[in-house]
Amino acid sequence: MTTLRHLRAEDRLPEEAKPPGGVLDTEELTGRWLATDHQAAGVVRLELSRRDGALFVRAFGANGAQPYDWGEIEAMPYGSSVVATEAMAFSAIYDFGFLVTILAAYAKQGILVLDTFNTFTDSSGRSNYFSREFFHR
Amino acid sequence: MRPELDGAAGPPVTRTADRPARGWAPPTGRPIDIRPLLGAWVNYDETSTGITRIEIGDWQGCPTVRVFGADRPAPIDWGEAAGAAFADGVDTVEAVAFVANYHLDFVTVILAGYLNKRLLVVDAYSAFTDSSRRVDSFKRDHFYLP
């Protein structure tokens, strides 16, 4: 029997369990998510879709009646364990040239919780900042 | 509408939150104050199968992160990684969150943590890069300073 390398107990497979491998079911994530806060100053909408076995995210930033379209990028899906079959979280990275934004999100009971970690690479002097936002379908 | 990349009305933005609340005053350029993050954080859940302890240190104003993963008979020391600190907004400097990445030859882990009152919430996004066919997974743990 081969011992899998691990960083913590949860990396190990449950006894006699076989890793499912393959592609995670992303149904819990895909769709159009709207910020629960109508006055949100951060991300106001997320569109998650699946294409050719990959997960994609398209984010929209708050800007009054005309949100900024950040464009679509590939996202990385995650399950709740090493033997999960359904995705419940994702990460993605936008590089705007002057700003790098990491999206880190998970879905729970029909709500999507999005954390963003924003690093400015220009000389504007703005502080790198964190945000936490909530979305519903 | 595309993000304002030309900076015509001030530095470029991707959302309202990228603009300082007080308008485009001369930037402070002050570094993030990482002191709220520093310390040896212990998992509230002693039975967690994720991370048991996180030590966040200060290296010239930047956070360093050392993680200990739950295992028996002893936790696994992941070693030290450079982190990045984040404030609550573009015109504040007190750290409220951090990110650190671990790149090992069988797994890559993004650690994304934030302070919630006196609690440190840490999400681990783990992607396996070996041939074990384990599923990439998400795990959340909560920590306190003893």
The number of distinct structural domains making up chain B is: 1
Q: Residue B14: inside a domain, yes or no?
A: no
Range of the domain at B114: 37-144
State residue B7's pLDDT score.
53
Do residues B56 and B64 make contact, with C-beta atoms less than 8 angstroms apart?
yes
Distance from CA of residue B82 to its chain's centroid?
A: 10
Residue A24 sits at the chain B interface (C-beta within 8 Å): yes
Of A104, A122, A132, the CB nearest to B110: A104
State residue B20's pLDDT score.
84
Number of C-alpha atoms within 13 angstroms, CB side, residue A69?
6
- Chain length of chain B: 146
- Pick among A8, A55, A60, A118 to test the B interface (most B CBs inside 10 A): A8
Whole-angstrom Cα distance, residue A113 to residue A27?
Answer: 16
- Pick among A1, A5, A7 to test the B interface (most B CBs inside 10 A): A7
Least CA distance to A93: which residue of chain B? B110
What's the pLDDT tens digit per position in B66-117? Answer: 999 999 999 999 999 999 999 999 989 999 999 999 999 999 999 999 999 8
Residue A54 sits at the chain B interface (C-beta within 8 Å): no
CATH number of the domain within which B42 lies: 2.40.128.30
Whole-angstrom Cα distance, residue A101 to residue B91?
Answer: 17
Q: Residue B17: inside a domain, yes or no?
A: no
Contact A70 B127 (CB under 8 A): no
State residue B5's pLDDT score.
56
Query: pLDDT-derived band of residue A33, with 50, 70 and 90 as boundaries?
Result: very high
Specify the pTM: 0.94
Burial class of residue A52 in the structure, from the number of CB atoms within 10 Å of its CB (0-12 exposed, 13-18 middle, 19+ buried):
exposed
Q: Which domains does chain A have, with CATH numbers?
A: 22-136 (2.40.128)
pLDDT (mean) for A101-116? 97
User: Burial letters for A85-100: b for 16+ Cβ neighbours within 10 Å, e otherwise?
Assistant: eebbbbbbebebebbb
* Neighbouring-strand partners of residue A70: none
Do residues A77 and A29 make contact, with C-beta atoms less than 8 angstroms apart?
yes
Q: Residue B30: inside a domain, yes or no?
A: no
Q: Residue B137: inside a domain, yes or no?
A: yes
Size of interface A-B (CB pairs under 8 A): 204
Q: Residue B13: inside a domain, yes or no?
A: no
Do residues B98 and B86 make contact, with C-beta atoms less than 8 angstroms apart?
yes
Contact A126 B90 (CB under 8 A): yes
pLDDT (mean) for A16-26? 83
